[in-house]
Amino acid sequence: MESALIFILVVSVILAVVGIVIHNSIITAGNGAERAWANVINYERLKLTVLPLIEKASDDYKGFEAKVMTDVTALRTAIDKLDTGVIDTQRLAQVEQLSRHLQSGIRATMEAYPDLKASTLVQQLMREISEKHENVAASIAVFNENVEQFNNRISMFPNSLVNGWFTHKKALNTFSDSAASSSFEYSPNFS
């Protein structure tokens, strides 16, 4: 009788330790996804450093179209609405779309005004914007990887049991860009 009680006690302790380890691994994965999201937002906000330069260029070159300035304002407002505490991939997609729109607007304006194209300030702006886009893209890739790890962690057995009983974390959405994915003819049939 005493050995059965010791066996039950040992098994209970082992199960409790395993449950705690699984719970903590889910929390760690969730924190990693949140940190990666905060990095995406930080890189998006770095775009705000370029916007005053675009405004200066618009003052220097009256030929800079008013539409570019409208796009600058829309992008600044959208970036300001991003929240590091709330993972909102749809809002991020809107910011990315506005950013691409601004960049294409600047390119179109440069084509229309050759003296603007020769400006070192405008060339610097285009490099800065491209660099910021690359940083955001890399950060989004890291975010999506962290989301995948988190979602795997909460959906695999036995982690799914611990998550359902104690942790109660929901799967996160990865960032997807519908404009970019629509340019592909192939679409995998994930089920």
Written as tens digits, the pLDDT of the chain (191 aa) is 788 899 999 999 999 999 999 988 988 988 888 888 888 888 888 877 777 777 666 666 655 666 777 888 888 888 888 887 888 888 888 888 888 888 887 777 777 776 666 567 667 777 887 888 888 888 888 888 888 898 888 888 988 888 788 888 888 777 776 665 555 565 555 65
40 near 87, Cβ under 8 Å?
no
Element spanning 163, H or E = none
Going from N- to C-terminal start, the domains of the chain cover 22-154
| Positive/negative CA dihedral, 116, 120, 123, 129 | negative
So what CATH class is 22-154?
A: mainly alpha
Residues comprising the chain, all counted? 191
Residue among 105, 154, 136, 177 at smallest CA distance from 39: 136
Token pair in block for residue 79: 């970036």
3-state secondary structure of 82: coil
Q: What is the DSSP letter of 170?
A: P
Q: For residue 52, is the peptide bond before it cis, meaning its omega torsion is within 30 degrees of 0?
A: no
| Structural Rg of the chain based on CA atoms | 24
Its pTM surpasses 0.75: no
* Residue whose pair of structure tokens reads 């705690």 in the numeric block: 20
